A and B are shown apart, each in its own frame.
Chain A
Amino acid sequence: MSDGGGDVTDGGKPGSPEPGASARTPGGRFDTDRLIMAFGGPVLALGVAVLLTSVVLLLSGRNPVEPYVLMVEYAGNADIQVNILNRSTTYYIAALAVAVGFRMNLFNIGVDGQYRLAAVIAAIVGAAIELPAPLHVLAIVLVAMLTGAFWAGIAGILKTTRGVSEVVSTIMLNAIATSIIAYLILPAQFGEQRGNNLTTGLIPESGWFPGFDTGPGGVIYGFIVVAVLLGVLYWLVLNRTRFGFDLRATGASQSAAAASGVDAKRMVFTSMVISGTVAGMAGMPVLLGDSHTYSLVFPVGVGFTGITIALLGRNHPVGIALGALLIAFLDIASQTLDFNGYEREIATIMQGLIVIAVVVSYEAVRRWGLRRQQQRVGEELAAQAAGAAGGNSQNLSKGASA
């Protein structure tokens, strides 16, 4: 649990702390060890993933380099960059939601369901009410947050009162959310049929979140600002508040946290609710910035991508941002592979390889760091002891001769 919040996944738990990054060298100066700890993992991982993907390409008789070039070139287009940015905004919030859980060893697979349910209810409410501009947006976001919190809270309650594993209950709740949504958007309920699509009706313009128009590139969701603030808030709360300390402590060692005065059950419930609240906001960039309604074509599976990204970003807000950009880049830029006769599944394979490579290399670097630190502690102590040897030697010799 370093102050910088740099987190790795160790063997046991997805959210446990990273010793190395926090290990400012005893004197407090930066050194190569620390640099290796911070950048070794990701760089090694990307390299390995790219290498392995190239091997796959070679094996199937394809050019092993061109796909990357194509993708990078494609991402040079302004509108593609805007798309990548917009999509990573959604991913980012979803991943933050997952990360909140991970930081205390809760595995919220239910982010997807929370996100979808929150988007539907927020869309229904948003279309039904009329408020002046900023308030309307605020109301919609609030509804989304509450819905997400409620849906995750069910899993939280089941875990704290009945001991139901959140992994199982959130899988179930995802499926149940699907049914509820299907019911809610029926024309007989709150839905509207538009052609072959079902929607929840259009939110009036007062409920739209203004974006940044880049001209030819298109509009960047204004919600990106909220996402950034959310990341800052996440960092502040986790690293600078007593609540965050409790949460991280619970993640690092449930038993130690309990003995330190953290009410573990309440913590589980609270963090589940927070995770759900954030998950509820994940649908807002698209809802408020683009679609202005929930329909059958609203993006799905965002919560699962969020899991991948939270893992890639090691639950750190900056790491998650990079992870979200990377995955969004692979998702969107892989489009160009189709244009050029490559299979775009290459990007999916690469995503899988990146995840594996990243965690393996993080783990390798983490172990290396831990060993290295112990060694240094040992060495420094030995050096100290040697320095003080004059005083001790008498005792020692006396002991030995007795």
Chain B
Amino acid sequence: GTSTESSGDKGAAIAYDVGGRGDQSFNDAAYAGLQRAQDEFGWEGEDLEPSDGESDADKASRLKELARQGYNPVIGVGFAYAGPIAEAAEAYPDTTFGLIDDEQAKGDNIVNMVFSEEQGSYLAGVAAAHATETDVVGFVGGVEVPLIKKFEAGFVQGVKDTNPDITVKSQYLTQPPNMNGFSKPDLGKEAARGQLDAKADVIYHAAGLAGQGVIEAVAARGEWVIGVDSDQYAQKTLAPYKDSILTSMTKDVPDAVYELIKSVEDGDPQSGVVRYNLETDGVALSESNPAYKEMTDLTAAVAKAKEDIIAGRITVNTTP
């Protein structure tokens, strides 16, 4: 295959990270962006899952195969694709490669879509600090990796900046490379129960599917939980617990994916780092729970914090 075939008529392709489609996290979010583009541009597109225990070379050949078949852009979900995308981008200079959650791989035809999760998490921290009555809040992370620690860092800072006396309980479910922590709801449930028993009344989770366990446990006690990635208040599977979902820290991956595809379709492909933060609404707190909107103190504080961050008056840490 040569790069001249990449005429763009086959549409965009996504290569997923471990977990793949159905993870209700950023793999699904990326797919949502692809779907939107499919509807608009009318091509099929392609999305592929990784196999267990594969190495960088396998990822690289997956990307190259997609480029060879003429997909453009080709998007890798997750930092695991950093190395492989650099390799594939060199082999197929006429194809645009998107890389979500990483800015290590650089190249003219590489688009690094990065999110300031710590900023959104900071707002979640502010919200939690206002919502708590016991002055104990909790954070449940799926797997103790830097990405999730970014969530924790922003959240803790948000809470402490609002009220330094509040205790934040942090709990991770598993250690890498054991990624079970993103897929075992029962672990999330027990971790949340532990924090509830320790008097936490607002819990923020960044645990992928295991977060469903967190939400279920918190809802059972009638306390507040803060969702992640997408607006979990609106998720069908979580409908029974939605009244307990105070808000969610959303990460607009669908839009990022869509924008990239659109730029390629429009013949003016993006390039370099595209940062999605509070300013661009790439990360945000959702407001679909009416109870949330009723807490005017809280929403005001969140709005203020958002302004301060955008204005650069507050810098949010990316590590705890």
Contact = CB atoms under 8 A, between A and B. Distances in A.
Find out whether A and B make contact in their complex, taking CB atoms under 8 A apart as touching: yes
A179 B54 contact: no
Contacts of B3: none
A197 B146 contact: yes
Contact of B64 (A79, A299, A339): A79
A77 B64 CA distance: 12
B312 to A, nearest CB: 23
Given A87-B54, A196-B150, 4 more contacts: A83-B57, A178-B177, A196-B102, A339-B48
B279 interface: no
Contacts of A179: 175
A270 interface: no
A260 interface: no
Given A196-B146, A198-B145, A290-B56, A296 B61 contact: no
A300 interface: yes
A116 B80 CA distance: 18
B58 interface: yes
A335 interface: yes
Range of interface residues on A (Cβ < 8 Å): 35 or more
Contact of A332 (B58, B60, B78, B150): B58
A178 B55 contact: no
Contacts of A86: 55, 57
Interface of A: 77, 79-80, 82-83, 86-87, 90, 116, 178-179, 181-182, 187, 193-198, 218, 286, 290-291, 296-302, 305, 331-332, 334-335, 338-339, 344
Contact of A297 (B49, B60, B80, B147): B80
Given A196-B102, A196-B146, A197-B104, A335 B65 contact: yes
16 contacts: A79-B61, A83-B58, A178-B178, A193-B146, A195-B82, A195-B102, A196-B79, A197-B146, A286-B55, A290-B55, A296-B80, A296-B177, A300-B177, A331-B51, A335-B48, A344-B49
Given A195-B79, A301-B52, A290 B57 contact: yes
A339 B62 CA distance: 10
Interface residues of B, number: 36
Contacts, number: 103
Contacts of B319: 187, 193
B28 interface: no
A338 B48 contact: yes
B48 A196 contact: no
Nearest to A180: B175
- B53, B65, B80, B144, most chain A CB atoms within 10 A: B53
A283 to B, nearest CB: 11
A293 B168 CA distance: 35
A296 B56 CA distance: 11
A79 B61 CA distance: 7
A178 B147 contact: no
A274 to B, nearest CB: 24
Nearest to B145: A296
B69 interface: yes
Contacts of B223: none
B99 to A, nearest CB: 10
Contacts of B147: 196
